[in-house]
Amino acid sequence: MSAPLLVAEGLHRSFGETVALVDAALRIDEGEVVAVLGSSGSGKSTLLHCLAGIVRPDRGRVVFDGRDLVTMSDAQRSALRREQFGFVFQFGQLVPELTCLENVALPLRLARVPRREAEQRAGQWLERLEVTEVADKRPGEVSGGQGQRVAVARALVTRPRVIFADEPTGALDSLNGERVMRLLTEAARDSGAAVVLVTHEARVAAYSDREVVVRDGRTRNLEVAA
């Protein structure tokens, strides 16, 4: 078995009085889809933020590709997020002033890809996610499902190695939610990206290869022989 892509061990994190994570652990292999399940307030979003280097845990380590995110500088973690990770959130992630195409091109532009090339690649991803028609519209003018597909396109456009999706279908109805999940997991699989999928919905989690349950800040990693 090859070395895991992302490993977290002994993560502790509290926000003031609130304890969000207690000794949480997780490993993700190259290209696999892992669901992080838990009720609201269980600490699953915090776990995702720690894994993605957005939040620094109070204790513990997060190793991506042999490097510990916890000891990295802010700039290094920003660069890592820009280049190796992609993100899909529940809502409010698209910049309202930019067109959908520009939103998708944004991570590339942040990585200093020239505008023309960035927008061309962004266009291909919009096509891959079946939302070509919204390219020139602003996020306020598209439906929730289209917006989420644009967000998925944006998460994938840099060909990241891990995609972090936090309740990506939370604001969608089942039909649109299923479509987003299908496109997200297929596109991730095609480009070889691993997916960390935070959700409280079992049907969304069912798109994963395996699940991790977070309860009261602790992870329960039940490996059931398939």
Partner 1 sequence: MSIGQTFLGLLEATPRHGYDIKRRYDEHFGHSRPVAYGQVYATLSRLLRGGLVEVEAVEPGEGPDRKRYAITEAGVADVAQWLARPEQPEPYLQSVLYTKVVLALLTGREAAELLDVQRAEHLRLMRELTRRKRGGDLAEQLICDHALFHLEADLRWLELTTARLDELAARVRA
Partner 2 sequence: MTGRGALADLAMGARMAVTGGREGWTRALLTAVGVGIGVAMLLLATAVPGALDARQARGDARDDLRLGEQVAAGPGTLLVHPVDNEFRGTPVRGRLLRPEGPAAPVPPGLTALPAPGEVVVSPALRRLLDSPDGPLFAPRLGGARVTGTIADEGLAGPNELAYYQGDDRLTDTSGATRLDSFGGGLPGEGLGPVLMLLVAVIFVVLLLPIAVFLGSAVRYGGERRDRRLAALRLVGADTTMVRRIAAGEAAAGALLGVAVGIGFLLAGRQLVPLVTLYDISVYASDIRPPTALLLAVVLAVPALAVLVAMLALRAVVVEPLGVTRRGTPVRRRLWWRLLLPAAGLALLLPVAGLREGDGGVTRWLVPAGAVLLLIGTVTVLPWLTDLLVRRLRGGPVSWQLAVRRVQLDSATSARLVNGIAVAVAGTIGLQMLFAGIAGDFTTASGQDTSRAQVQVQFRDQPDLAGVLRQFGGADGVTAVTGTLSAGANAGSPDGPPVDVRVGDCAALAEFAHLDRCVDGDTFLVSDPRDPAVVPAGTMLTVEDGSRWRVPTTARPAQARPDPAGWMQNAVLVTPGAVGPRVLGPLRTTVYLQLDPADPDAVEHVRNAAAAIDLTTPVSVLSSTIESPRFADIRRGLAIGTVVTLLLIATSMLVGTLEQLRERRRLLAMLVAVGTRRSTLGWSVLWQTALPVGVGLVLAAGFGLGLGAALLRMVQAPITVAWPVVAFSVGLGALTVLAITGLSLPLLWRLTRADGLRTE
Spatial distance between the Cα atoms of 31 and 162, rounded to a whole number of angstroms: 8
Return the DSSP state at 201: -
With the CA atoms of 83, 192, 38 and 147 taken in that order, what torsion angle do they form, in degrees rounded to the nearest 10? 70
The option from partner 1, partner 2, none interacting with 12 (CB < 5 to 8 A, set by class) reads none
Q: 10 Å Cβ neighbour count for 193?
A: 26
Please report whether residue 190 would count as binding partner 1 according to CB under 8 A: no
Residue whose CB is less far from partner 2, 3 or 95 = 95
Q: Hey, what are 79's tokens?
A: 């660069």
As beta bridge partners, residue 166 has 198
Give me the sign of the Cα torsion angle 190, 28, 201, 103. Answer: negative
Which residue in 36, 51, 55, 187 binds partner 2 (CB under 8 A)?
Answer: 55
Phi-psi region at 216: left, alpha or beta (left = phi > 0; alpha = psi -120 to 50)? left
Spatial distance between the Cα atoms of 152 and 123, rounded to a whole number of angstroms: 13
Please report whether residue 224 would count as binding partner 1 according to CB under 8 A: yes
Question: Environment class of residue 74 by beta-carbon count within 10 Å: exposed (0-12), middle (13-18) or buried (19+)?
Answer: exposed
Question: Per-residue x/- mask for partner 2, residues 121 to 160, rule CB under 8 A?
Answer: -----------------x-x-------------x------
Residue whose CB is less far from partner 2, 15 or 174 = 15
- Of residues 156-215, which lie at the interface with partner 2 (CB under 8 A)? none
Return the DSSP state at 70: G
Which residue in 67, 96, 174, 203 binds partner 2 (CB under 8 A)?
Answer: 96
Please report whether residue 207 would count as binding partner 1 according to CB under 8 A: yes
Please report whether residue 182 would count as binding partner 1 according to CB under 8 A: yes
Decide: 111 and 83 in contact? Cβ < 8 Å.
yes
Which residue in 15, 67, 203, 206 binds partner 2 (CB under 8 A)?
Answer: 15
Binding site for partner 2 (CB under 8 A): 15, 40, 45-46, 49, 52, 54-56, 75, 78-83, 85-87, 89-90, 92-93, 95-98, 102, 106-107, 109-110, 115, 138, 140, 154
Binding site for partner 1 (CB under 8 A): 39, 182, 201-203, 205-209, 211, 213, 215, 220, 222, 224, 226
